[in-house]
Structure 1
Amino acid sequence: MTSTTLSIVSELAEIVGPANVLTDPDVTAGYVTDWTGHWSGHTEAVVRPGSTAEVSAVLTACHRHGLRVVPQGGNTGLVGGSIPMDGEIVLSTRRLTTIERVDVVDRTLAAGAGVIVAQAQEAARQHGLDLGVDLASRDSATLGGIVSTNAGGIRMIKNGNTRRQLLGIEAVLSDGRVVTRWKELVKDNVGYDLPGLLAGAEGTLAVITRVLMRLVIPAPRTQVSLVAVTTVSDALQLVDRLERAGLTLEAAELMTRPGIDLVRRHHDLRAPLDVDSPFLLLAEVSGQRDTQALLLDVLEQAGESVLDAAVEEGPAPKLWRYRESHTESISAESSTPPVKLDLSTPLREVEQFLTTLTPALAENFPDVRAICFGHVGDGNLHVNLLDVKETERERVTDFVLRHVTQHGGSISAEHGVGRAKAPWLALGRSPEDINLMKSIRAAIDPAGLLNPHILPIR
């Protein structure tokens, strides 16, 4: 460590305390490698402020020294967006863990950016409310992280994405200035939507320290069905039938036979249904007291398009396990860090995209296995590519992203762009759009110190 670095580390330690400036590589290892295991970097120091004031002081010091900073929450991202690939300082928000208030009248939750999603859910549920966002990484993802990536998750089809849940925000700019937009109002049209701008910015505009989240009233009871179908169209038609019958769709998840086989093998599970079908639809619905009867009626009226089905009262963890074990099983199965591509297409294109992708991959990349699953109700699919050689990662990623673009889709539905997809930004945005984003970033962080190498490239 150079004398200059020692001086900076000493200054940061004075702000947050020596115990909260980590420099030992063995200690910082968990901060410099992402969840997938593919993105791994290095850092001079991990700084863990405990308040907005400390975040402000840290960024003021880094700005004065011209140091680049990578903000990081729970480090559950899948696109390398919070990894210091070039030695940047890591600013961890994990100590910003105060749940300030749950307001049952305005139905809001005020909390620090480091609060874990599951903790926020539990706090809301103690008051008969719930967080509108739910995702498989709920036990490690933070509120600041899901805001920074504008996460979607399994309840998006009902509640919308994280941006829709965000009412207020407190954040620190790269030069240490604190910006607070904090009103418990669902209607507030004074100027630009700054919380909405920071949601999905992936830490490139400011470091989020506090959030004000809208809460929702959970369904008093739900019914969960796991349905065997032959085609994606059958699954989509069933989703449509459920909604037209007056049921509220809480979640709609599509799985494939290879994905289910993988989960069963790694978790020693029996076959969920008696029929070995190409696709499974997991649908959770709510409604009036006759929800189960209405659900069963829809399944019966679907006729031959439903090959088999199981129905349980929610939350039905045994049925949900087949879906939520996919990510873990994929990582355990692949001989290399899996290429995880979070995509979306219009609903009318989902089937054509999937049915053409698999044979195209087999023809061009015969050693690569594809496991696809996702939130079929909103067109969001997770394409997981196993056994991809390091020399082939860029080429197979390019192939899939161009394929989804040909179907009118997006290269990033809910995980962000990060480093993984930055080279393909032009597939999803026009030159004018990209230039405008660059202008916004340059206006807010002219020195380019926050997350400098991800969306949008300067």
Structure 2
Amino acid sequence: MDRERLVQQLTAVVGDAHVLTDPAVRASYETDFTGRYTGRARCVVRPADTAEVAAVLRLCHGSGVPVLPQGGNTGLVGGSVPGPDGGEVVLSLRRLTGIGPLDPDARRITVGAGLPLAALQRHLRPLGWEFGVDLAARDSATLGGMIATNAGGERVVKYGTTRANVAGVEAVLADGGVLDRLAGLPKDNTGYDLTGLLVGSEGTLAVVTRARLRLVPHLPHRVTALLALDSLASAIAVLGRLRLLESLELAEFFTADGLALVLERSGLPAPFRSAHPVHLLVECAGRRDPSGELAELLEEADVREVAVALQDADRRRLAAYRERHTESINAAGIPLKLDVTVPLAALPGFVADLPALLAGRGSPYVFGHLAEGNVHVNLLGVAPADEEAVTEAVLDRVAAAGGSISAEHGIGRAKAPYLHLTRSAADIAVMRSIKAALDPTGLLSPHTLLPTDA
């Protein structure tokens, strides 16, 4: 089918205002958050509900046109932007922002895939509830995108990844059929876990349109502490003690280089009088004030300096030293981002090896979620000609340590060629079989997740 005919049919489904063909208007949907990955869409379609998503997919399926589902477009691996040939329809889910009634007895709520995480938080907290997953990109990251990538974020140490917090989904298959698993029953042993299968599938199997989310009670008393430490090994040792606290919700690390860049780019004042090699940001929450038990534990820990905050504004100021890393790094240049997981025992050695792995081909900035060994490796100054060699060197080192080449942003386009490093040939063959069963013509996110060389 020619482009104009398909545009006309899509317009009849979603309305003229929601089929974007002007290159200037499409631009924000065609470039990812990093600015590193960009492409060209046939058009951008913005359906309002599941029925419209199904109709769009039926039209594209019937025409043999590939579709790229997109949420908040905050990904870092090129999985949410089209390829360069202009052949894909970008299916933006940002209009699917509905919030269903809260079910306090079941601790559940059903939301649209396009709802930003921050909007859900604003809705739930006055009602005494929370969604267990939180991200620095909460204002723009959507629930559907988080589900597609199985995002983890800052509170995995207590609540787990997105998969652990999703009870059910509604999704549209490549041919327009609707899969309804929204019941989210706590016990349902009727075959395959289709909800779990779709979480983390990066839009390659179906388009999630609504989700039934598990909720946790909002804990009113919080304390945030920024710890200055002499090494990453010391941070891991302190973390081991912190895990004794049931109130621990967050344990984030960053290094002196990253903090210096944040101070330079943001204008924030230095948190301590002296510079320190490593910092650990921790937060505890409870129905009662957890600051006493945190202070008692830290008295016996090997910590150089500590800053503690109880009031919301003060806690946000401490958190900013970690949360403003991404924007500060992006302001300094377009980084090569390699989000990975390394076993905690191997983490200090991995970070120490980065300069040698780079061999002068860039400057590393590392930070991340210490409790899970999740390191956001950001490399500035890597020449385009060196990117492949640098990526391979770093990811080979991750694999040698028994880690994962992706911790929470997915594989996307960027890491598909390296999937074999941490997934076996049998794993990849099973994934290909599942993809072929649910999307036999390969029209959903065709360049994402699975290597294209086989």
- TM > 0.5 fold call: yes
Is the contact between residue 171 and residue 180 of structure 1 (CA under 8 Å) also seen in structure 2?
Answer: yes
Query: Which residue number in structure 2 is paired with residue 248 of structure 1?
Result: 247
Query: Which residue number in structure 2 is paired with residue 295 of structure 1?
Result: 294
Is the contact between residue 251 and residue 369 of structure 2 (CA under 8 Å) also seen in structure 1?
Answer: yes
Residue 184 of structure 1: how far off its partner (Å) = 3.7
Q: Distance in 2 between matches of 1:288 and 1:133?
A: 19
1:198-247 Cα offsets, whole Å, 9 max, x none, are 00000000011111110111222111111111111211111121232x34
Query: Which residue number in structure 1 is paired with residue 26 of structure 2?
Result: 28
Q: Distance in 1 between matches of 2:215 and 2:289?
A: 26
Which AA in structure 1 matches 2:252? E
SS at structure 2 position matched to 1:9? helix
The equivalences for 1:316-335 within 5 A come to 316-334=315-333
1:255-299 Cα offsets, whole Å, 9 max, x none, are 100000000001112210123110001111134746222222222
1:366-414 Cα offsets, whole Å, 9 max, x none, are 1411100000011101000001111111111111111111111100000
Is the contact between residue 228 and residue 275 of structure 1 (CA under 8 Å) also seen in structure 2?
Answer: no
Q: Distance in 2 between matches of 1:433 and 1:247?
A: 36
Which AA in structure 1 matches 2:346? E
Query: Which residue number in structure 1 is paired with residue 12 of structure 2?
Result: 14
Which is worse superposed, 233-242 or 35-44? 233-242
Query: Which residue number in structure 2 is paired with residue 395 of structure 1?
Result: 389
CA RMSD in angstroms, aligned pairs only: 1.3
Residue 254 of structure 1: how far off its partner (Å) = 0.5
SS at structure 2 position matched to 1:41? coil
Query: Which residue number in structure 1 is paired with residue 75 of structure 2?
Result: 77
SS at structure 2 position matched to 1:168? strand
Q: Distance in 2 between matches of 1:34 and 1:388?
A: 19
Query: Which residue number in structure 2 is paired with residue 354 of structure 1?
Result: 351
Which AA in structure 2 matches 1:147? I
Is the contact between residue 357 and residue 393 of structure 2 (CA under 8 Å) also seen in structure 1?
Answer: no
Which AA in structure 2 matches 1:174? A
Q: Distance in 2 between matches of 1:290 and 1:43?
A: 51
Q: Distance in 2 between matches of 1:149 and 1:288?
A: 31
1:408 to 399, 402, 405: 402
1:428 to 422, 430, 437: 422
Q: Distance in 1 between matches of 2:367 and 2:281?
A: 11
Which AA in structure 1 matches 2:426? E
Q: Distance in 2 between matches of 1:242 and 1:4?
A: 60
Q: Distance in 1 between matches of 2:204 and 2:246?
A: 40
Is the contact between residue 71 and residue 93 of structure 1 (CA under 8 Å) also seen in structure 2?
Answer: yes
The equivalences for 1:255-404 within 5 A come to 255-287=254-286, 289=288, 291-302=290-301, 305-313=302-310, 315=312, 316-334=315-333, 337-361=334-358, 364=359, 366-404=360-398
Q: Distance in 2 between matches of 1:119 and 1:417?
A: 27
Query: Which residue number in structure 2 is paired with residue 164 of structure 1?
Result: 164
Residue 125 of structure 1: how far off its partner (Å) = 1.1
Query: Which residue number in structure 1 is paired with residue 205 of structure 2?
Result: 205
Which AA in structure 2 matches 1:406? A
Which AA in structure 1 matches 2:329? I
Q: Distance in 1 between matches of 2:287 and 2:296?
A: 14
Residue 314 of structure 1: how far off its partner (Å) = 5.5
SS at structure 1 position matched to 2:127? coil
Q: Distance in 1 between matches of 2:118 and 2:416?
A: 30
Is the contact between residue 68 and residue 82 of structure 2 (CA under 8 Å) also seen in structure 1?
Answer: yes
Which is worse superposed, 22-31 or 286-295? 286-295
Which AA in structure 2 matches 1:418? G
1:44-96 Cα offsets, whole Å, 9 max, x none, are 11011111111111110111110001000111111000111132111110111
Q: Distance in 2 between matches of 1:67 and 1:137?
A: 31
Is the contact between residue 222 and residue 289 of structure 2 (CA under 8 Å) also seen in structure 1?
Answer: no
2:50 to 34, 49, 52: 52
Q: Distance in 2 between matches of 1:216 and 1:414?
A: 21
Change (3 A) 1:96 1:413: same
SS at structure 2 position matched to 1:331? helix
Residue 126 of structure 1: how far off its partner (Å) = 2.2
Is the contact between residue 219 and residue 287 of structure 2 (CA under 8 Å) also seen in structure 1?
Answer: no
Q: Distance in 1 between matches of 2:250 and 2:355?
A: 25
Q: Distance in 2 between matches of 1:314 and 1:418?
A: 39
Q: Which ranges of structure 1 fall in alignment gaps of 5 or more residues?
A: none
Which AA in structure 1 matches 2:254? M
Is the contact between residue 148 and residue 203 of structure 1 (CA under 8 Å) also seen in structure 2?
Answer: yes
SS at structure 2 position matched to 1:212? strand
SS at structure 1 position matched to 2:123? helix
Q: Distance in 1 between matches of 2:246 and 2:448?
A: 41
The equivalences for 1:136-155 within 5 A come to 136-155=136-155
Change (3 A) 1:405 1:314: farther
Which AA in structure 2 matches 1:355? A
Query: Which residue number in structure 1 is paired with residue 126 of structure 2?
Result: 126
SS at structure 2 position matched to 1:130? strand
Is the contact between residue 66 and residue 89 of structure 2 (CA under 8 Å) also seen in structure 1?
Answer: yes
SS at structure 2 position matched to 1:126? helix
Query: Which residue number in structure 1 is paired with residue 92 of structure 2?
Result: 92
Q: Distance in 2 between matches of 1:414 and 1:107?
A: 25
Residue 360 of structure 1: how far off its partner (Å) = 3.2
Which AA in structure 2 matches 1:381? V
Is the contact between residue 247 and residue 291 of structure 1 (CA under 8 Å) also seen in structure 2?
Answer: no
Is the contact between residue 222 and residue 286 of structure 1 (CA under 8 Å) also seen in structure 2?
Answer: yes
Change (3 A) 1:222 1:66: same
Q: Distance in 1 between matches of 2:16 and 2:204?
A: 27
